[in-house]
Amino acid sequence: MDFNSSLRIAATGMHAQTARMRVIAENIANADSAGKAPGDEPYRRRVPTFQSHFDAEVGGRVVEIGKLANDMSDFTSRYEPGHPAADESGYVQYPNVNTLIETVDMREAQRSYEANLNVVTVTRQMLGRTLDLCAANFEDLIHGHFDPVQRRHQRL
């Protein structure tokens, strides 16, 4: 696998985690969004899905965000008889979003993003070191002092 492939694979992971964080942020933003009238369904938590496939151009597996699935778990009911969306019993339906779970998911997505970013950083460092070595060998070649065995012993 070459440097470009490593960078592209890491970039697809970063893109997928960015999309995941966007969905989580939307869930958190709507955690208290009740319906506007009795019988209106509140916001429903959304969950991203991921798909990975082999990319022949890259020479490895890449990941991408798939469809967004609605979490079909039950809504939360709260007794708030004065709320405009309260039913005849005084209960209001609230989204099925647990902000604690969303916060943990956000942290996991951030760590996954950071792991991919570390791959990019290390790949760039390796590429820079490779270019430095090539430049040094090229300079020696131009000046007529190229001896790869001697050069290796000098670096050790």
Q: Is 91 contained in some domain?
A: no
Burial of 136 (0-12, 13-18, 19+ CB in 10 A): middle
Q: Is 77 contained in some domain?
A: no
Q: Is 89 contained in some domain?
A: no
The dihedrals phi and psi of 83, each to the nearest 5 degrees, come to -75, 140
Encode pLDDT of 16-61 as tens digits.
Answer: 999 999 999 999 999 999 988 988 999 999 999 999 989 888 788 8
Q: State how many domains the chain has.
A: 1
Q: Is 86 contained in some domain?
A: no
Q: Which residue is associated with the tokens 């000046």?
A: 143
> Are the C-beta atoms of 75 and 98 separated by less than 8 Å?
no
pTM for the predicted model, two decimal places: 0.78
Q: Is 94 contained in some domain?
A: no
Q: Is 150 contained in some domain?
A: yes
> Are the C-beta atoms of 65 and 48 separated by less than 8 Å?
yes
Could you give the 3-state DSSP secondary structure of residue 64? strand
Angle subtended at Cα 71 by Cα 67 and Cα 72, rounded to the nearest 5 degrees: 125
> Are the C-beta atoms of 83 and 92 separated by less than 8 Å?
yes
Q: Is 23 contained in some domain?
A: yes
Band of pLDDT at residue 129, cut at 50, 70 and 90: confident
Among the listed residues 111, 91, 88, 108, the one whose alpha carbon sits nearest the alpha carbon of residue 100: 108
Domain that holds residue 131: 3-34+43-68+99-155
Encode pLDDT of 62-116 as tens digits.
Answer: 888 999 999 999 999 999 999 999 999 999 999 999 999 999 999 999 999 999 9
Position 145 scores a pLDDT of: 63
Q: Is 118 contained in some domain?
A: yes
Going 107 to 112 to 114 to 115, the CA torsion angle's sign is positive
